């Protein structure tokens, strides 16, 4: 017999706030109250680790629609969730945040970038082949599935409402034609210019791989409308720069809008 989801897993006192586990699934042809949706083996293992039982509450995101649900079945790597009701929430940034990330020499650095950038609200991830990138098409293609899984896991942990779009790598020359109302490039050398004002509209940002952006690349970006931003007087590691930049953006966007 169907019954509504409990507001929190069993055994949790009502005065304790707890985020429910969240899972991203493909959009269903028909999503309505009471429909059963299968969860994959990894989700089943996670639910077992959380010691959830039949009837306990969880959340699923179908496409870009979050739902409350309850656990209908959990057994031997198989899990079913029962949809309860759509969630009227949106945890996404008000404006697109497009991360044009350099492909590093060590592809494992990309693994480190993804979770904090997803938590900070990035909406699009575009790998870029800079002059100092060491681009191996076969190795990078083999890594794309791993990056997709890392992005989904970070979305579930941070309760995002949508998964960012991960695109195939593109050349630096293609980056020069990138279209966005605001385009920022983190650059470690002093340009004599103040950081641009952050506006409430979509923002694209980029930074260099290990060894940084070459002088020629920076000149080409500047000519294409990318504005230099400084993140302090010290030189940041390639893995630190995009996260620091996006954190600063979210901090500024969190300020009240002045009339």
pLDDT band at 2 (very low <50, low <70, confident <90, very high): very low
- Cα Rg of the chain, angstroms: 21
pLDDT tens for each residue of 248-259: 999 999 877 665
Share of the chain above pLDDT 90, in %: 47
> Tokens 């409990």 identify what position?
6
Taking residues 187-214, what's their average pLDDT? Answer: 89
CA–CA distance, 239 with 243 (Å, rounded to integer): 8
pLDDT for the residue 257: 63
CATH number belonging to domain 97-253: 3.40.1280.10
pLDDT tens for each residue of 182-192: 999 998 776 77
CA–CA distance, 193 with 200 (Å, rounded to integer): 21
209-245: b (≥16 Cβ within 10 Å) or e: bbebbeeebbebbeeeebbbbebeeeebebbbbbbbb
φ/ψ of 244, rounded to 5, equals -65, -40
User: Domain residues of the chain, as ranges?
Assistant: 22-86, 97-253
pLDDT for the residue 29: 63
Taking residues 51-80, what's their average pLDDT? Answer: 86
pLDDT tens for each residue of 122-162: 999 999 999 999 899 999 999 999 999 999 899 888 888 88
Global pTM value? 0.78
- Does the structural domain 22-86 have CATH classification 3.40.50.300? no
Residue 242 above 50 pLDDT? yes
């Amino acid at each position: 017999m169907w019954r509504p989801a409990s507001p929190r897993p069993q055994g949790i006192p009502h005065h304790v706030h707890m985020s429910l586990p969240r899972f991203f699934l493909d959009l269903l042809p028909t999503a309505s109250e009471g429909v059963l949706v299968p969860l994959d083996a990894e989700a089943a293992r996670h639910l077992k680790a959380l010691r959830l039982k039949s009837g306990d509450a969880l959340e699923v995101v179908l496409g870009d629609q979050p739902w409350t649900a309850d656990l209908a079945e959990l057994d031997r790597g198989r899990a079913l969730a029962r949809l309860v009701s759509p969630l009227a929430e949106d945890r996404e940034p008000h404006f697109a945040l497009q991360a044009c990330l350099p492909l590093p020499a060590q592809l494992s650095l990309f693994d480190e970038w993804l979770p904090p950038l997803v938590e900070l609200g990035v909406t699009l991830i575009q790998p870029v082949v800079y002059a100092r990138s060491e681009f191996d098409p076969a190795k990078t293609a083999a890594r794309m599935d791993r990056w997709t899984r890392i992005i989904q896991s970070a979305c579930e942990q941070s309760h995002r409402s949508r998964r960012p779009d991960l695109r195939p790598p593109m050349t630096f020359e293609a980056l020069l034609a990138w279209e966005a109302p605001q385009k920022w490039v983190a650059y470690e050398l002093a340009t004599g210019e103040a950081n641009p004002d952050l506006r409430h509209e979509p923002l694209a940002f980029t930074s260099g791989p290990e060894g940084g952006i070459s002088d020629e690349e920076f000149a080409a970006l500047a000519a294409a409308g990318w504005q230099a931003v400084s993140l302090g007087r010290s030189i940041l590691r390639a893995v630190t720069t995009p996260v620091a930049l996006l954190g600063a953006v979210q901090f500024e966007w969190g300020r009240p809008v002045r009339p």
